Structure 1
Amino acid sequence: MGKMYRVMAFWTAIFSIMFYLGDMYTTSLLFLCITGFFLGVGFLKLSERMYVYIFGAFLTLFFIGFTYWTTFMMPLGGGGH
Structure 2
Amino acid sequence: MARMFRVLGLFTLLIALMSFAGDMWEMALLFFIQSAVFFLFGYLNFTEKTYIYMFWGYMVLAFLGFTYWSVFEMGLPA
Give the TM-score of the pair, scaled to structure 1.
Answer: 0.91
In the alignment, structure 2 segments of 5+ residues that lack a partner are: none
Q: Distance in 1 between matches of 2:48 and 2:12?
A: 21
In the alignment, structure 1 segments of 5+ residues that lack a partner are: none
- Identify the residue that residue 72 of structure 1 maps to in structure 2: 72
Larger radius of gyration: 1
Residue type of the alignment partner of 1:43: Y
- Residue identity over aligned pairs, in percent, reads 37
Q: Distance in 2 between matches of 1:42 and 1:62?
A: 19
The count of residues paired between Structure 1 and Structure 2 equals: 78
Q: Distance in 2 between matches of 1:25 and 1:76?
A: 25
Q: Distance in 2 between matches of 1:49 and 1:68?
A: 29
- Identify the residue that residue 44 of structure 1 maps to in structure 2: 44
Residue type of the alignment partner of 1:31: F
Residue type of the alignment partner of 2:35: T
Q: Distance in 1 between matches of 2:63 and 2:75?
A: 19
Residue type of the alignment partner of 1:66: F
What CA RMSD, in Å, does the superposition of the two structures yield over aligned residues? 1.1
After TM superposition, where is structure 1 displaced by more than 4 Å over at least 4 residues in a row?
75-78
Give the TM-score of the pair, scaled to structure 2.
Answer: 0.94
Q: Distance in 1 between matches of 2:32 and 2:76?
A: 28
